[in-house]
Amino acid sequence: MPEVSLSVVVFYAFAVLTVGSAAAVAFSSNIVYSAFALMGTLFGVAALYVFLAADFVAAAQVLIYIGGILVLILFAVMLTHRIANIEVSNRSVGRLPAAIVVGGVAGMMGYAVHHTPWPVVASLPDAPSTYAVGNGFLGPYVLPFEFASFVLLSVLIGAIVISRKELKS
Amino acid sequence: MEITTVSYLRWIPLLPLLGAAVNGLGGSVIQKRFGKNAISAIAVTPVVLAFLIAVRGFLQLKGLDPEHRFLLDDVWRWIDIGTLKADVAFWLDPLSCVMILVITGIGGLIHIYSTGYMHEDEAYWRFFAYLNLFTFAMLTLVLGDSLLLMFVGWEGVGLCSFALIGFWWTEQINTTAGNKAFIVNRVGDFGFILGIFLIFWSLDAAGHGSVVFRDIQHHAVSLEGRTIWGLPVVVLATLFFFVGATGKSAQIPLYVWLPDAMQGPTPVSALIHAATMVTAGVYMIARLNFLYAMAPETLAVVAGIGAATAFFAATIGLVQNDIKRVLAYSTVSQLGYMFVAMGVGAYAAGVFHLVTHAFFKACLFLGSGSVIHGMSGEQDMRKMGGLKDKMPTTFWTFLVATLALTGTPLTSGFFSKDEILWKAFSSPYGSATLWIIGVCGAGMTACYMFRQVFMTFFGETRADHHVVHHIHESPGSMTMPLVILAIGSILVGYLGVPEFLGGGNRFEAWLEPVFASGHEMAAHASHEAGLEWTLMLISVAVAATGFLIAYVLYYRHAASPDAIAEVAGGVPYRVLYNKYYVDELYWAVFIRGTLLLSRILAWFDGAIVDGIVNGVASLTVAISWLDGLFDNRVIDGLVNLLADFTYNVGSRMRRMQTGNINAYLYVIVGTVTLVLLARLF
Amino acid sequence: MEGISLEHFLIVGLLVFALGLYTVLTRKNAIGILMGVELILNAANINYIAFARYGGASIDGQVFAIFVIMLAAAEAAIGLAIVLGIYQNFDSIDVEATDSLRY
């Protein structure tokens, strides 16, 4: 039996988790199933980040994506629950044309990935990256960082404005 | 030739022109403010002054050598184009001197006469304005030193004649007469113009182009032998000039205006149609005698027409009843005599007769005017008679003038007419035929003139009752000129007493330098004194016969004039009375012919020219209709097509807006993919 | 780690992206479409981190990934607010019901 490293196996396991959950999101006809499959996908992606020595990003992924966005999505699903049949609440249409288009795009991108001679250089040291990320935020990327805060503020206000009920008077 | 330059000649025509200007422009105002006497003064004074200046010119000429009697007054440069040079310049030589003395002298007397004759007329100022203007034009004609300036005067007298004949323009018959005079004159003028052109061009071709008389005379030899269209230039040119003369001097065939011109006031008839304007043709031939001397054929034509006219007019005069018509035909006849003289080369004789004729014919016309005045406007001789005692001065002056006209011995007319008849017989250009015609004409002249005298002055009055009461002698302003003219009719003749009768013929000697070339030819004439006597006695006898016939018929009333009229079925009488129906012939041929031609042309204009214009208009309308069609169908079609296309495309394209998010996302993905594919490959 | 190269990560990212794209194109439920968008964003993030690790030993990729996460959150918030607004107005979150801007 060829010597297979444990990390490779774990990698493939997480990769399957990610892609499978994504498939569930794509093909499930139950909205709640899709939402939870999304959670699986996000976990898998976080694990892949760990593999890529991006521990801070992984943590941020879990906290924000799963803890924030997913919860939000679930809220939205629940708030719009007046759907006739929860089982068939996530229909999909036009599967064939979409499949063709997607297949084409994916094929093309796959080709690009496979045939491009990626310059592989020395990889990052397996060290906590928080320090470096923080330096990056307050160093070269301080402007986008500050700007992002504005964006979030505006999003906050905007979300409130959009979602409040019109006074029926 | 030695020419003396003076500067006073210009006043001779200029003074009457000023008088005409003042009376013409301000006459109506002056007449109202200052009365007719002021008008008379403004009108008569210039003519009298001109006469005095003319006398001065005469005296100056007399003081010069006979070969150098030429005065020139060059006033200003008029035309100077290429070889054509004509100045406003006045030329006084013996010939023009004679003419201006006649014009200003007799003209002055007629002006004075007119102050009396036209006294009742309201348009008094207009009459004198025209009269002065006429005098100016006639003087220009005579004094002009070139053909062009003479033509200016030529036209001017024609214009004034028209204005004066039709003076009482409220009656259509007067204006018609004026029109006739002007139009017939115009036909003659056309010939005159052609003559001027021909002379100038021919001289120019020979290298001496000019219209000035002395230059033409000087270079006349260069025209010898020149032909144009196969005819000798000189003959053709002189014929053209003669055509002008027939128009102005009332010869066959253009005499028809003169009898009708009697519609004008009598002083006009006296001045224009007896003494001055009608003599312009004679003067013109005299002036161009050197050309005529080179064209014997034309001279034959001139003499022939002159003789024919003399005879022809006299026959018509025998039966006319209007006192002025008789005199009119008499004038035409006497002018014929003058042309006979010119035609046989006896230029001096012709001019002499011109002068004597001016005196007695003016006297006759003024006398007839006096008669008409006394008869309260009556002009028909059949209604006159017995005026001898009631208008003595008029009668005696009339009688004296008649004697002169008929050629009674010892009167001026006798010497001048006899001279012509002798020259007609004896000149190398003359012939016995001309003489015979002339003598017969003289006989008829005597007949109709004494007929007129007997009918008007003798016997019982045949006038209407109320006219009889008003018969009176005319005022002094009218009788004084009559007396002067009658005296002149007798005395003037003594200037030209021919040699064979013992006189020195001073008149002919005076004119010698002007007619030198002409007289070279006539010098070859015969000079037998005996023959002259014989012919003279024969002509006197014939005239006496005419007098006797008139005496018998109209004084003794041996036969009633009506019985005479019935002779030979009344045909000869009717033919003569209707003037040989010449006027009717002209009307039928020329007038109706012109009207027919104008009708044809009018039809042409209306049918064809207008047809073409209308056709073009219709074509334009059709083309514009086509254009409209094109515009509507094609152009609007294109525009509409464009709009429809836009609309259709739009209505199809908007189906892309499905409102379906998935579709939009498809489009985005599809586009990105395509772009990437393009970049990739 | 041996045996796992850049390409493997890229393939994973590719597959997630393709599935996310498929979701976006076919789903009728508005929230379903938003979930597809999240998948696409995550796929992009995987790419970023992978290149950060294998492509130059630079930390920029991770910084960008943080940004993406943050903006994904913002976008999700707004998107869901809009979905709620649509739900209030149209009484349904079926995207085929919201075709008022149809021709």
Q: Where are the beta strands (DSSP E) in B114-259?
A: 227-228, 231-232
All residues of chain C having their beta carbon less than 8 Å from the beta carbon of residue B658 are 99, 102-103
For the whole model, what pTM was predicted?
0.65
Helix (H, G, I), strand (E, B) or coil at B592: helix
User: Is A108's CB within 8 Å of B666's CB?
Assistant: no
Which of B394, B351, B354 is closest to B374 using CA atoms? B394
User: Is C26's CB within 8 Å of B666's CB?
Assistant: no
Answer for the pair B139, B511: CB distance below 8 angstroms, yes or no.
no
Contacts of B281 (CB under 8 A, 6+ apart): B242, B244, B245, B246, B247, B248, B249, B251, B335, B339
Rounded Cα gap, residues B286 and B6, in angstroms: 24
Beta bridge partners of B231: B228
Q: Count of alpha carbons within 13 Å of B346, Cβ hemisphere only?
A: 31
**Interface membership of A13 toward C (CB under 8 Å):** no
Strand B227-228 relative to strand B71-81: parallel, antiparallel, unpaired? unpaired
Answer for the pair B451, B320: CB distance below 8 angstroms, yes or no.
no
With contact defined as 3+ CB pairs under 8 Å, the chains touching B are: A, C
Which residue in C12, C34, C78 has the most chain A C-beta atoms within 10 A of its own C-beta, making it the best mutation to test that interface? C12
Residue B160 confidence (pLDDT):
92
Please report, for residues B498, B528, B627, C63, the alpha-carbon distance to residue B533 in angstroms, rounded to integers and kept in the order given.
Answer: 11, 9, 97, 163
State mean pLDDT over A56-62: 94
Which residue in B662, B664, B666, B673 has the most chain C C-beta atoms within 10 A of its own C-beta, making it the best mutation to test that interface? B662
Q: Could you tell me the two tokens for B355?
A: 């002068």
Rounded Cα gap, residues B333 and B316, in angstroms: 10
pLDDT tens-digit profile of A126-141?
A: 778 888 899 889 989 9
Measured between CB atoms, which of C26, C66, C72 is closest to A69?
A: C72
Residue A1 has pLDDT above 60, yes or no: no
Answer for the pair A147, C74: CB distance below 8 angstroms, yes or no.
no
Rounded Cα gap, residues B570 and B579, in angstroms: 14
Rounded Cα gap, residues A126 and A54, in angstroms: 9
**Interface membership of A129 toward C (CB under 8 Å):** yes
Which of B431, B158, B429, B423 is closest to B272 using CA atoms? B158
Q: Could you tell me the two tokens for B630?
A: 């094109």
pLDDT tens-digit profile of A67-109?
A: 999 999 998 888 876 655 555 556 666 788 888 889 988 998 8
Q: What is the dihedral of CA B359, B360, B366, B367, to 10 degrees?
A: 150
Q: Is the peptide bond before B253 cis (omega within 30 degrees of 0)?
A: yes
Rounded Cα gap, residues B350 and B288, in angstroms: 14
Rounded Cα gap, residues A63 and B555, in angstroms: 170
Residue B1 confidence (pLDDT):
65
User: Is B669's CB within 8 Å of A112's CB?
Assistant: no
**Interface membership of C5 toward B (CB under 8 Å):** no
Rounded Cα gap, residues B422 and B536, in angstroms: 8
Measured between CB atoms, which of C10, C25, C34 is closest to A113?
A: C10
Q: Could you tell me the two tokens for B260?
A: 């009708």
Angle, helices B280-287/B124-143, rounded to nearest 10 degrees? 20
Q: Could you tell me the two tokens for A110?
A: 């796959």
pLDDT tens-digit profile of B117-175?
A: 888 888 888 999 999 999 999 999 999 988 999 999 999 999 999 999 999 989 899 99
All residues of chain C having their beta carbon less than 8 Å from the beta carbon of residue A68 are 73
User: Is B666's CB within 8 Å of A104's CB?
Assistant: no
Q: Could you tell me the two tokens for C54?
A: 């294998």
Residues 31-60 on A with a CB inside 8 Å of B are: none
Measured between CA atoms, how close is B646 to chain C, in angstroms? Answer: 16
All residues of chain B having their beta carbon less than 8 Å from the beta carbon of residue C44 are none
Strand B84-92 relative to strand B71-81: parallel, antiparallel, unpaired? antiparallel
| Cβ neighbours, 10 Å, residue B464 | 12
B contact set with A (CB within 8 A): 662, 666, 669-670, 673, 676-677, 680
Instruction: Using 50 as the pLDDT threshold, list the residues of chain B that sit under it.
Output: none
Q: Could you tell me the two tokens for B597?
A: 């031609």
**Interface membership of A101 toward B (CB under 8 Å):** yes
Helix (H, G, I), strand (E, B) or coil at B144: strand
With tokens 């004509």, the residue in question is: B86
Q: What is the ipTM of this complex?
A: 0.89
Q: Where are the beta strands (DSSP E) in A42-142?
A: none
All residues of chain A having their beta carbon less than 8 Å from the beta carbon of residue B673 are 101, 104-105, 108
Confidence band (pLDDT; 50, 70, 90) for A43? Answer: very high
Contacts of A5 (CB under 8 A, 6+ apart): C1, C2, C3
Residue A69 confidence (pLDDT):
93
User: Is C103's CB within 8 Å of B660's CB?
Assistant: no
Q: What is the dihedral of CA B574, B579, B583, B584, to 10 degrees?
A: 10
DSSP B456-518: HHSSS--S-HHHHHH--PPPHHHHHHHHHHHHHHHHGGGGG--GGGT---HHHHHHTTTTHHH
**Interface membership of B658 toward C (CB under 8 Å):** yes
Residue A150 has pLDDT above 90, yes or no: yes
DSSP B53-100: HHHHHHHHHHHS-GGG--EEEEEEEEEEETTEEEEEEEEE-HHHHHHH
Residue C39 has pLDDT above 70, yes or no: yes
Angle, helices A31-51/A6-27, rounded to nearest 10 degrees? 150
User: Is B673's CB within 8 Å of A108's CB?
Assistant: yes
- Residue of chain C whose alpha carbon sits nearest to that of B654: C103
Rounded Cα gap, residues B73 and B68, in angstroms: 15
Residue B500 confidence (pLDDT):
61
| φ, ψ of residue A119 in degrees (nearest 5) | -75, 110
Q: Count of alpha carbons within 13 Å of B147, Cβ hemisphere only?
A: 25
Residue C83 confidence (pLDDT):
86
- Tally the residues of chain B: 681
All residues of chain B having their beta carbon less than 8 Å from the beta carbon of residue C95 are 660-662
Which of B48, A153, B669, B407 is closest to C78 using CA atoms? A153
With tokens 């943050």, the residue in question is: C70
Please report, for residues A49, B248, B257, B446, C49, the alpha-carbon distance to residue A65 in angstroms, rounded to integers and kept in the order given.
Answer: 13, 135, 135, 159, 16
Rounded Cα gap, residues B275 and B103, in angstroms: 8
